[in-house]
Chains A and B, each alone.
Chain A
Amino acid sequence: MERIISDRALLQVRDLNISFTTAKGDFPAVRGISFDVGRNSIVGLVGESGCGKSVTALAIMRLLPGNARLSGTIDFSGRNIVAMHEEEIRKLRGSEISMIFQEPLTSLNPLWKVGRQIDENLKMHTELKGDDRFQSVVDIMRDVGLPDPERLYHKYPHELSGGMRQRIAIAIAVACRPALIIADEPTTALDVTIQAQILQLLKDINREKGSSIIFISHNFGIIREICTSICVMYAGHLVEIAPTEKLFCEPRHPYTIGLMKAIPKTDSKGKELYDIPGKVPSITDTLPGCPFEPRCEYAFERCKRELPQFEVLGEQHESRCFLAGELR
């Protein structure tokens, strides 16, 4: 099966497998996923909790716990992250790839002034010193929309609002102008109005600074708002990849179709909300066939025995379903 590969992609994930070794055996969390993140793009990773999207993100940063086993390749501008020495990947972290976490209150060090937490990045990865560095921190804070940065520099995380804290976390992430930012549910813990502001900020960063973003969310609405293309994950598998509008107009995997139906719409008020029957298979279950088969309304005999390969449906649109060409 020939995959769509753009040679100019910033990040190329190929056949990535992640499993965790425990006393009870090996548990696969991510099974053979491949996707690209092009320069200047915003790629969404969507799926229910436990589908492997956060694990994938941590694998790109090589921040998984010691019992994680990786195979496959993660090619980042020509270098394979999976095979890197610790020292090599450490130098990439925070400078070329950085990360924004879900909960800004707990992801900032509660005992450090916020300015110093941004400053630490510049201290690590740049030659800036003294006043110049302070000035850079203040500039970065202003860039991410923090008012009166000279004063905020000396505040502690608990003295700021949730939205401001997330802006600080974003300031930390963008401080060294990384080529890639991984945002793991960065708006989930925020109020809706703040969510919109943070999304706009991430879009601005993408457009103005040229950083590519991997945006992880379980919320299709937000993903649609911000992403250029979307990877849908289910139980450790990648099931469908498509440019955003394509995915929303012509979803070609039964799971994606189910997720779309499950989005509450304004005109469905009063009607019962749709949900996909059944539940996500446990990490310990290994099905020989399609992981979605037990819950799929289109499933037939072959789905039980055989894992479908990707079917190319159009430019950058692929679905891992035997019926991909026929589903409407």
Chain B
Amino acid sequence: MYIYLRKLFAMLATVFLVSMITFITFEIIPGDPVLARLGVDADEAQIRALSEELGLDEPLYKRFFGWITGLFTGDLGQSIRYSRPVSELIFDRLPVTLSLALISMVLIVIIGVPLGILSARYGDRLPGISISIVSQIGMAVPSFWTGIILMYIFGLTLRWVSPGGYTPWSVDPVEAFKSLLLPAVAIALPSIATVIRYTRNTVMEQMKNDYVRLAFSKGLKMNAVLFRHVLKNALIPVITVLGMITANILGGSIVIEQVFTLPGVGRLLINAISVRDLPLVQGMVLYISLVIVVTNFLIDIVYTLIDPRIKLR
């Protein structure tokens, strides 16, 4: 129990520090939310009035502590640009990002891990080499390009799916899935390539171990050795990478959401930064840092489930 409390404290401290750094950064970088909203030819009185209304005339520390105390009541503040509560804006966008993340993670795991094992098994033979080459290409091609090509082929030419835009799940689940599939594939492809290479390397590394020789000396077949003995041992580094990928995708796929005009958190973040919508940026950063610390915490727990030698510290 004590360990969990300590973990929780460390997580909160991380989020707090990240928030503080964001606050300070926005104080330093050029750009003014008031001007962004009123336009360059606004007069002095208008500017002063809006600054006061938004509380921007107060000193930095006061604003920061105001924001922190607001957090305890679940109040993330008002967005300057949208004039709506920040939490509402983020929650509106979450279903898109969560669905994208879920679909792409499923693709990454069910394609990346088995192909990685196959590639390790047939390392120097044709299947191994071809998987290696394809995954190398997959890592090199940027996802926005894959996205555009996918959209061109399946959206514009074959018209299997709509070339962009989003239908909510509540309206039409089939259409929703169709609108998310291509972007999910575009997000997944480079990560699939990464996971293949990781899995391949760790499996090949594990194959050199004595316990593999013992497994063979028991009379096990190659597949039994690979899937029963090696896979679990090779999983730890793969899980680490999967965790990083998950956190990344949940943080919003800025480029892909832009390419497919999806209303996800990535696009919200871009908008917020471009108009210096500090409360919204602050809220987004809070969301992203929470995603990362929570994912890491879950990964730590998964480690202990896989490997009895690892204890939560």
Contact = CB atoms under 8 A, between A and B. Distances in A.
Interface of A: 61, 63, 90-95, 98-99, 101, 103, 106-112, 120-121, 124-125, 156, 158, 169, 172
B217 A111 contact: no
Classify the secondary structure of B's interface with A: helix
Nearest to B221: A90
B84 interface: no
Given A63-B213, A101-B210, A156-B309, A110 B218 contact: no
A103 B232 CA distance: 21
Contacts of A112: 229
Contacts of B309: 110, 156, 158
Contact of B210 (A90, A103, A120): A103
Contact of A110 (B215, B220, B233): B233
Contact of A107 (B213, B220, B232): B213
A8 B26 CA distance: 88
A99 B214 contact: yes
25 contacts: A90-B221, A92-B219, A93-B216, A93-B219, A95-B219, A99-B214, A101-B214, A106-B209, A106-B210, A106-B211, A107-B211, A108-B211, A108-B214, A109-B214, A109-B215, A109-B229, A110-B307, A111-B233, A111-B306, A120-B218, A124-B220, A125-B219, A156-B308, A158-B308, A172-B214
Contacts of A120: 218, 220
Interface of B: 209-211, 213-221, 229, 232-233, 306-309
Q: Which 9 A-B pairs have the closest CB atoms?
A: A94-B219, A94-B218, A93-B219, A107-B210, A106-B210, A99-B217, A109-B211, A156-B308, A107-B214
B306 A63 contact: no
Between A93, A103, A108, A109, the greatest number of chain B beta carbons within 10 A of the residue's beta carbon is seen for A109
Nearest to B215: A109
Contacts of B215: 109
Between A63, A106, A107, the greatest number of chain B beta carbons within 10 A of the residue's beta carbon is seen for A107
A125 B278 CA distance: 68
Between B219, B306, B308, B309, the greatest number of chain A beta carbons within 10 A of the residue's beta carbon is seen for B219
A98 B217 contact: yes
Nearest to A110: B309
Contacts of A92: 219
Given A93-B218, A109-B229, 7 more contacts: A92-B219, A99-B214, A106-B209, A109-B233, A111-B306, A111-B307, A125-B219
Contacts of A107: 210-211, 213-214
A101 B308 CA distance: 23
B187 to A, nearest CB: 31
B301 to A, nearest CB: 16
B280 to A, nearest CB: 46
Contacts of A99: 213-214, 217
Nearest to B228: A120
B232 A124 contact: no
B220 to A, nearest CB: 7
Between B210, B214, B221, B308, the greatest number of chain A beta carbons within 10 A of the residue's beta carbon is seen for B214
A218 to B, nearest CB: 18
B219 to A, nearest CB: 4
